[in-house]
Structure 1
Amino acid sequence: MTIEAARNPHPIYFIGAFATGGLLTFMVHLNGELARYANPLFSSWTAHGTGMVAAVILLLALYRRRAPTAGKTARAPLWAYLGGVSGAATVILTSTAVNSPLGLSGTLALGLAGQVAFSLAADNWGLFGLPKRRPDMRDIAALGLVVTGGALIILFGRGGA
């Protein structure tokens, strides 16, 4: 990808990212409701169990026999398989937090701040095979705005303490 293409992405990427945020909010709400009636661990098991069933159905519906490729195919590094562990922990923690005084918006605001902070750290140190990229002042300002927005939601929102 060229630098120009990275600076001018197609609008469908923005729409997809925005839609993903809405789906994430809906998922956190549903998992929180399930945890409220059962517990966060059950919520995580249910979310991942239904996700597995959906994935199997999609794989069966979309599966086409491919011709074997010549040569050796690249294998994913072992750490790439830890996504399921972090996904399970995310469901358990958000299911707990959403049922606290933070509520849905506070949980998601702090979650977004954590995502931005961790992604800046991953860029800075080149974690997980990412190219190293030093955060600039705009990145730090963006993180500050996200944290400030989260604090406003939590401290002064309708559900604020």
Structure 2
Amino acid sequence: MLDAGGEAAISWRMSQFAALVGISLLAVVAGLSFVMQQAVNADLRASLHSAAWAGFVSYLGGTICMLVLALVLRDQVPQASAIARSHWWAWSGGLFGAIYIGISIVLVPRIGTAAFVALLVAGQMLSSLIFDHYGLFGVPRHPVDLVRLSGAFLLVIGVVLVRY
């Protein structure tokens, strides 16, 4: 039989586990959305005969969704002073998103979704290790060690298996 402290500890662990499961499910939904975005953008490119216009339509749809979300959440429009305090590189997210969208629109029809995602994940993992190790762009520092390098190596092996 558990005392109140033991029951509280179990309850806390269960709530932590439930939170982890919820977060994991959200990540899975994000992954599904990611693949859906690639597939529909590639199809849109075929319909419009333009990677640039397909990317524009994709971003326009995303912009409208974020506007609706901000309105539903009743988020205040940022003040000019808050915008001015942002790091200069904080404004480059759209540029990198456009690079990603443009490349995915062109490559998915050529190499397939699975191969593209495998290569993309390899690129994300390798760049993430660099960002973590050096704490780039305000990311908390997490030094690269042998275990993390081994995981990245296994991921690259997985990419090769999916691609070829």
Is the pair's TM-score, using the shorter chain for normalization, greater than 0.5?
A: yes
Q: Distance in 1 between matches of 2:151 and 2:159?
A: 12
**Counterparts in 2 of 1:58-137, with a 5 A limit?**
58-63=69-74, 75-100=85-110, 102-137=111-146
Q: Distance in 2 between matches of 1:27 and 1:35?
A: 12
Using the TM superposition, give the Cα deviation of residue 73 of structure 1 relative to its aligned residue in structure 2, in angstroms: 5.9
Note closer, same or farther for the CA distance 1:64–1:133 as it changes in structure 2 (3 Å cut): closer
Q: Distance in 1 between matches of 2:93 and 2:60?
A: 15
Q: Could you tell me the TM-score, scaled by structure 1's length?
A: 0.80
Matched AA of 2:56: W
Q: Distance in 1 between matches of 2:71 and 2:82?
A: 22
Task: List gaps (5 residues or longer) in structure 1.
Answer: 67-71, 156-161
Residue of structure 2 in register with 1:25 after alignment: 35
Greater Cα radius of gyration, structure 1 or 2: 2
Note closer, same or farther for the CA distance 1:95–1:135 as it changes in structure 2 (3 Å cut): same
Using the TM superposition, give the Cα deviation of residue 132 of structure 1 relative to its aligned residue in structure 2, in angstroms: 2.6
Matched AA of 1:81: W
Residue of structure 2 in register with 1:45 after alignment: 56
Note closer, same or farther for the CA distance 1:140–1:62 as it changes in structure 2 (3 Å cut): same
Q: Distance in 2 between matches of 1:121 and 1:152?
A: 24
Task: List gaps (5 residues or longer) in structure 2.
Answer: 1-12
Residue of structure 2 in register with 1:34 after alignment: 44
Counterpart of 2:152 (choices 139, 143, 154) is: 143
Counterpart of 1:56 (choices 45, 49, 67) is: 67
Report if aligned partners of 1:36, 1:99 keep a CA contact under 8 Å in 2.
no
Identity %: 24
Q: Could you tell me the TM-score, scaled by structure 2's length?
A: 0.78
